[in-house]
Chain A
Amino acid sequence: MITFMNNSDSEEEPCNERTSLMSAESPPVPSYQDGLQASEAGEAQPHRKRRAGSSHGPNNIAGGEMSGSGVPVRESALENEEEELTLKYGAKHVIMLFVPVTLCMIVVVATIKSVRFYTEKNGQLIYTPFSEDTPSVGQRLLNSVLNTIIMISVIIVMTVFLVLLYKYRCYKFIHGWLILSSLMLLFLFTYIYLGEVLKTYNVAMDYPTLFIVIWNFGAVGMICIHWKGPLQLQQAYLIMISALMALVFIKYLPEWSAWVILGAISIYDLMAVLCPKGPLRMLVETAQERNEPIFPALIYSSAMMWTVGMAKPVTAARGQSQQTWDAAEDGREHLRSPSHAESQMSETRSPVPTRPVTSLEELEEEERGVKLGLGDFIFYSVLVGKAAATASGDWNTTLACFVAILIGLCLTLLLLAVFKKALPALPISITFGLIFYFSTDNLVRPFMDTLASHQLYI
């Protein structure tokens, strides 16, 4: 979801549903644009899986649902001026979102291209029990559809669960959950990732050094994301986390299921955010009513927010004022990506600790920003990563998908500026991305190959 940060009263709950593969099944919270960035702390804790000794890969993806919630501009009094300013800042915001999305994709593509580990098939997540090794096409299709249904229902369940928790004010639980998810994500996945990268480049590293490095990385990450920290560091950490999650997804989702899941998730996102009864929308609205920010750990904020301190509910008096958020915390965009519980992997969800909503103070120089849910980042990167991993046209396809996603993001932000309320971030971009992927792979590639072999130029 993408939300404007202007009025992010409700933004305070950055429930970015990170698609953490944690065993915890965080319900994927579609990115919420306004206010509810309830990204489902889809960090499913892999604990259960591990304890159960599941043979699945240790990648429990904490499905943090990235909800990009945007904060709808609330000022009615200054509406015109608001509008102008909003649109004027529009280009700047778009770029502010382009950069992290691009960075995330670059990291994912670079890793996929160089590290073999992420393209080997070593088993599947528990959320996609049907294998795709069947000989017949129909059977394979059926299996992937079933996988998708299972995954989406897990995500829905987690989202609804998160929304209920939020509604009944079980904040501690949510926070604990998110903390656990991000803990797992930061430590376990980083460890695996680092291990694989070192293996690829044949660099030796001893355990004490490894321990120190990972410990520092994880500790700083936890502090930065859930508490206060420099904006850029926070953004960097969020990007890294999203990239890790996306990598896990790419590795553990079977081929066709991945594509069908991407498609289904964008549809789900669309519905969850726009339908009046959709869970994400309810989350955003509830957060807005209570004037609380959405959990910071699930949302990426693009603008600087004044970090004031502990989160406090925004008082009604402040209704009209701009809520400043921890800029670092919420990168919320009105676009909400369904933070589907990517945590499908793990059963346990770690609630994302809500970042202290510091936005209650009125700042003189408030920089408006847009927030994008982390789930959006993750799914964009999954699309591009899959294109890089499996396309035979290699870089052309990857490049085409990249451009398609960016254009989709642009269009969505444009819609955001027009509608001024939380919008789903996934559908347009993912649709473009999928169209371009399949068409480039099948149509453009033979054309370009033939041209290149004759060295013709068009």
Chain B
Amino acid sequence: PAFGLFIFTIARDPLRIIILIAGAFFWLVSLLLSSLIWFIAVKASDPQDERLQKGLLIFGVMFSVLLQEAFRFLYYKLLRKAIEGLVALSEDGCSPISIQQMAYVAGVGFGLMSGAFSMINLLADALGPGTVGIHGDSQLYFLTSAFMTMVLIFLHTFWGILFFHGCEHRRWWEIAAVIIMHLTVSGSSFCNPLYVGSLVPSYLLMAAAAAWAYLLSGGSAQNLRRFLLCKC
């Protein structure tokens, strides 16, 4: 689905592609930094202690979430500057791309990158002999991974919109809400392999975020109804 989003909405406009790739890049850098921190922490600690390792892992995850949001903010700043440049360059004085579109594309960029990193090795292994979960892990590993990744990609997209909107209008609570949601989703994945604990809240949160973002972008129940009933 995320790839479909890409093809239908982003691939047409070159500027959006650039923003997308830049978004992916920012996510990558945040991942790099967070794994650096985790790596250092692991090396500095005792490798034998199970609980400590688990604790470090949780710490790493949380830290990574915070870093991702920080980078999203940085990216927002960069895009603001870029918009000013574009406005100055364009012929009729208005930017060819709005900040909301940028928010959407940035979100997709983040989401795609995170999804790709989560899934791709899994997919590559899936092509090989079917030995996943042979040690008594859950049989639903692939399915749940796929769903989780998808929900995460969508969430990143919505978070992008919400986040940028919050920054634009200086509503700090929106930004805080995004951060808390992100932490919640990551935290819920700690319940794995008890999949109920992680998938269901994530989907609920995604629905909430979707509705919120939709409303923010100017949609309304009326628009939705019109669209669904194929009226013009």
Are A443 and B35 neighbours in the complex by a CB distance under 8 Å?
A: yes
Q: Which B residues are in CB contact (< 8 Å) with A394? A: 121, 124
A123 CB within 8 Å of chain B = no
- Hey, what's the 0/1 contact readout for A379-420 against B, CB within 8 Å counting as 1? 000000000000001111001100110110010000000000
CB within 8 Å of A: which of B52-105?
A: 57, 60-61, 64-65, 68, 89-91
Main secondary structure of the interface of B (DSSP, over half): helix
Contacts A452-B118, A454-B57: A406 and B21 contacting too (C-beta < 8 A)?
A: yes
Stretch at the interface among A14-22, A85-93, A260-268, A335-343: A85-93
B167 CB within 8 Å of chain A = no
Q: Which B residues are in CB contact (< 8 Å) with A448? A: 35, 117-118, 121
Are A396 and B186 neighbours in the complex by a CB distance under 8 Å?
A: no
Are B21 and A95 neighbours in the complex by a CB distance under 8 Å?
A: no
Measured CB to CB, the closest approach of chain B to A21, in angstroms, equals 30
Are A95 and B189 neighbours in the complex by a CB distance under 8 Å?
A: no
Q: Which B residues are in CB contact (< 8 Å) with A88? A: 89-91
A233 CB within 8 Å of chain B = no
Are A396 and B121 neighbours in the complex by a CB distance under 8 Å?
A: yes
Query: Which residue, of A84, A394, A399, A400, has the highest number of chain B Cβ atoms within 10 A?
Result: A400
Q: Which residue of B lies closest to A444 (CB)?
A: B35
Are B91 and A455 neighbours in the complex by a CB distance under 8 Å?
A: no
Contact among A393, A403, A452, A456 for B61, CB-based, below 8 A = A456
Contact among A393, A404, A446, A456 for B25, CB-based, below 8 A = A404
CB within 8 Å of A: which of B111-158?
A: 113-114, 116-118, 120-122, 124, 141, 144-145, 148-149, 152
Contacts A395-B124, A439-B32: A98 and B116 contacting too (C-beta < 8 A)?
A: no
Are A84 and B14 neighbours in the complex by a CB distance under 8 Å?
A: no
Q: Which A residues are in CB contact (< 8 Å) with B15? A: 91
Cα A406 to Cα B90 in complex, Å, equals: 25
Cα A456 to Cα B65 in complex, Å, equals: 12
Cα A87 to Cα B192 in complex, Å, equals: 49
Contacts A84-B89, A447-B38, A458-B61: A452 and B121 contacting too (C-beta < 8 A)?
A: yes
Are B17 and A98 neighbours in the complex by a CB distance under 8 Å?
A: yes
Q: Which residue of A lies closest to B31 (CB)?
A: A444
Contact among B34, B120, B144, B190 for A456, CB-based, below 8 A = B190
Are B14 and A92 neighbours in the complex by a CB distance under 8 Å?
A: yes
Are B18 and A410 neighbours in the complex by a CB distance under 8 Å?
A: yes
Are A444 and B124 neighbours in the complex by a CB distance under 8 Å?
A: no
CB within 8 Å of A: which of B1-55?
A: 14-15, 17-18, 21-22, 24-25, 28, 31-32, 34-36, 38-39, 42
Measured CB to CB, the closest approach of chain B to A446, in angstroms, equals 7
Contact among A94, A399, A447, A457 for B186, CB-based, below 8 A = A457
Q: Which residue of B lies closest to A410 (CB)?
A: B18
B219 CB within 8 Å of chain A = no
Are B121 and A455 neighbours in the complex by a CB distance under 8 Å?
A: no
A436 CB within 8 Å of chain B = yes
Q: Which B residues are in CB contact (< 8 Å) with A403? A: 21, 24-25, 28, 113
Q: Which residue of B lies closest to A113 (CB)?
A: B124
A440 CB within 8 Å of chain B = yes
Measured CB to CB, the closest approach of chain A to B62, in angstroms, equals 9
Are B145 and A455 neighbours in the complex by a CB distance under 8 Å?
A: yes
A170 CB within 8 Å of chain B = no
Contacts A396-B120, A403-B113, A455-B145: A95 and B185 contacting too (C-beta < 8 A)?
A: no
Are A95 and B61 neighbours in the complex by a CB distance under 8 Å?
A: no
Q: Which residue of A lies closest to B195 (CB)?
A: A455
Measured CB to CB, the closest approach of chain A to B160, in angstroms, equals 16
B201 CB within 8 Å of chain A = no
A451 CB within 8 Å of chain B = yes
Q: Which B residues are in CB contact (< 8 Å) with A84? A: 89, 91
Are A407 and B14 neighbours in the complex by a CB distance under 8 Å?
A: no
Are B28 and A436 neighbours in the complex by a CB distance under 8 Å?
A: yes
Q: Which A residues are in CB contact (< 8 Å) with B120? A: 395-396, 399
Q: Which residue of A lies closest to B148 (CB)?
A: A457
Contact among A94, A400, A439, A457 for B118, CB-based, below 8 A = A457
Q: Which B residues are in CB contact (< 8 Å) with A450? A: 57
Are B116 and A399 neighbours in the complex by a CB distance under 8 Å?
A: yes
Are B117 and A456 neighbours in the complex by a CB distance under 8 Å?
A: no
Are A91 and B90 neighbours in the complex by a CB distance under 8 Å?
A: no
Cα A447 to Cα B117 in complex, Å, equals: 11
Are B22 and A407 neighbours in the complex by a CB distance under 8 Å?
A: yes
Q: Which A residues are in CB contact (< 8 Å) with B65? A: 458
Q: Which residue of A lies closest to B117 (CB)?
A: A396
Contact among A404, A436, A446 for B39, CB-based, below 8 A = A446
Are A95 and B14 neighbours in the complex by a CB distance under 8 Å?
A: yes
CB within 8 Å of A: which of B181-218?
A: 185-186, 189-190, 192-193
Cα A6 to Cα B56 in complex, Å, equals: 56
Measured CB to CB, the closest approach of chain A to B30, in angstroms, equals 10
Cα A87 to Cα B117 in complex, Å, equals: 33
Are A451 and B61 neighbours in the complex by a CB distance under 8 Å?
A: yes
Contact among B21, B141, B148, B186 for A410, CB-based, below 8 A = B21
3 nearest CB pairs, A to B = A95-B14, A447-B35, A455-B192
17 further interface pairs, Cβ-Cβ under 8 Å (given A84-B89, A451-B61) = A88-B90, A88-B91, A92-B14, A95-B18, A98-B17, A396-B117, A404-B25, A406-B21, A410-B22, A439-B32, A443-B32, A447-B34, A448-B117, A451-B57, A455-B145, A456-B61, A458-B34
8 A-B contact pairs sorted by A residue (CB < 8 Å) = A92-B14, A98-B17, A98-B21, A403-B28, A439-B32, A443-B39, A452-B118, A452-B122
